Amino acid sequence: MSIIVFIIILAVLILIHEFGHFIAAKKQGVRVDEFGFGLPPRLFGIKIGETLYSINLIPLGGFVKLYGEEYHEIKKKTQSQRAFINKKPWQKALIILAGVAGNFLLGWFLISFLFTQGVPVPTDRVIVEKVTENSPAAVSGFKPKDVITEIKIGDKTYPIKQSTDLIELSRKFAGAKMTMTVSRSSEILKLDVTPRKNPPKDQGPLGVTVTSFVEKKFPWYQAPVYGLIESVNITTNIFRELSKILFQLVTFQKTDAQISGPIGIAQFTATAIKFGNNAVLELMALLSFNLAIINIMPFPALDGGRLVFVIYEWITGKQSNKNFEKYVNFIGFVMLLSLGILISVLDVIKLYK
């Protein structure tokens, strides 16, 4: 099931990306020769109009074949104006960026939908989620949904605004009697409790699970606005972290980043499935944002690398050397393929360990 869900997620992400290129190319008058699901070899295809819609053997990708992506493909003068290579720089840039835009829009849509289902929102309250049986908190009468507002230890009172406040105080004053002010429905209670010095494993001094988050559901007309804000924040963080990792790698610095390929992502998918459908959708949104950011990076064979040549043409008014561009993209493709294989091998090693 995890493998099937992973393949579906990957297929959706790539198809949305390629569909962005497809639509933009059509709108700019570029002939689309093939829209492929999966990677070759081709199993079968159906030609509708001038485009071949194909199903390929390897279900881990997709592609859009535009007429005239390379100079040598232009054979008929009557079709030359429909070649990608002969379009204006702004049109080429639009077609290239459309794939990235497609992934961002997908992530935005998913995040917005999740906002209508309920998302954790930080508060300045500490709420009891669970009370462990026979723990100090249970003996003192704590119940789920209690809100802990302050703690009195001796003559000193400590306000409780975050979960970390409660955790630090219960550890610091373990073994000492403390009085907690608790809000329960419309009541204000004073509960005496003594945190344990040596609590059982995974319980903590008090024996409670607390949170500073509450679930909030946004109406459908607000969700896209807050979803857009969150989507921008997520992509900004992804870009910042990826830039940091690349800088560390280029300068031969040690990095703590954990990089995963398809096998590692499949493992994350299995974990997400355990948490439910919303967790799977959240993972898909994060992967879609990641795919958008990675593709826009100025590396050969990626959309960002192709965009560099378009910007050069835009600035200088002349196209780049066709052979140079071809070989640079080929080298970039080989490097990306090699990196993908290396990451997959590391994923297998981690899985084995």
The number of folded domains in the chain is 2
The torsion angles phi and psi of 232, rounded to 5 degrees, stand at -65, -40
Q: Residue range 191-211: average pLDDT?
A: 89
Ramachandran angles phi, psi of 173, nearest 5° = -110, 30
* pLDDT at residue 252 in the model: 74
* Domain shared by 144 and 239, yes or no: no
Q: Check whether 353 has a pLDDT greater than 80.
A: no
Q: In whole angstroms, what is the distance from residue 143 CA to residue 179 CA? A: 16
pLDDT for residue 158? 93
The CA-atom distances, in angstroms, between 281 and each of 119, 193, 246, 269, 306 are 13, 41, 28, 10, 30
**Whether 345 and 234 share a structural domain:** yes
Cross-strand pairs, 193: 178
- For the domain that residue 198 is a member of, what is the CATH number? 2.30.42.10
Angle between helices 2-27 and 277-296 (to 10 degrees): 50
Same-domain pairing of 230 and 200: no
Question: Alpha carbon of 194 to those of 157, 163, 205, 228: distances in Å?
Answer: 16, 18, 8, 46
Domain identity same for 209 and 238: no
pLDDT at 20: 94
Q: How many CA within 13 A on the CB side of residue 351?
A: 15
Looking at 216, 250, 266, which one is the last position of a domain?
216
Tell me how far apart the alpha carbons of residues 31 and 127 are, in angstroms, rounded to a whole number.
Answer: 59
Among 70, 197, 207, 192, smallest CA distance to 140 is for 192
Overall residue count recorded for the chain in this entry:
353
Residue 7 · residue 266 · CB < 8 Å: no
Contact 249, 256 (CB under 8 A): no
* Confidence label for 203 from pLDDT (cuts 50, 70 and 90): confident
Residue 50 lies in a domain: no
The percentage of the chain sitting over the pLDDT mark of 90, rounded to a whole number, equals 46
| Position 314 pLDDT exceeds 70 | yes
Domain boundary among 190, 216, 242: 216
Answer whether residue 33 is part of any domain: no
Whether residue 270 lies inside any domain: the answer is: yes
Domain assignment present for residue 303? The answer is: yes
Q: SS3 sequence, 306-321?
A: HHHHHHHHHHHCCCCC
Is there a single domain that holds both residue 209 and residue 136? yes
Per residue in 16-34, pLDDT (tens digit) is 999 999 999 999 999 999 9
Q: Do 279 and 199 sit in the same domain of this protein?
A: no
| 130-140 per-position pLDDT tens digit | 999 989 999 99
| 229 and 290, same domain (yes or no) | yes
Same domain, 204 and 191: yes
Q: Which of 172, 339, 153, 176 is nearest to 259 (CA)?
A: 339
Is 240 in the same domain as 167? no
Confidence of residue 315 (pLDDT cuts 50, 70, 90): very high
302, amino acid identity? L
Q: Which domain holds residue 144?
A: 120-216
Q: How high is the pLDDT of residue 254?
A: 74
Specify if 56 maps to a domain: no
DSSP state letters, 175-220: TS-EEEEEEETTEEEEEEE---SSPPTTTTTT-EEEEEEEEE---T
- Confidence class for position 149, pLDDT limits 50, 70, 90: very high
Is pLDDT at 318 greater than 80 in this prediction? yes
Q: How far apart are CA 177 and CA 197, in angstroms?
A: 12
Same domain, 229 and 344: yes
Indicate whether 229 and 212 sit together in one domain.
no
292 and 342 housed in the same domain: yes
- Asked whether residue 43 is domain-assigned, the answer is no
Asked whether residue 141 is domain-assigned, the answer is: yes
pLDDT of residue 202: 78
Tokens describing residue 57: 């053997």
As to burial, measured by CB atoms within 10 angstroms (0-12 exposed, 13-18 middle, 19+ buried), residue 76 is exposed
Which of 156, 190, 216 is the endpoint of a domain? 216
CA 244, 249, 255, 261 torsion-angle sign = positive
Whether the predicted pLDDT of 97 surpasses 80? yes
Place of tokens 């071949």: 52
* Residue 67 in domain: no
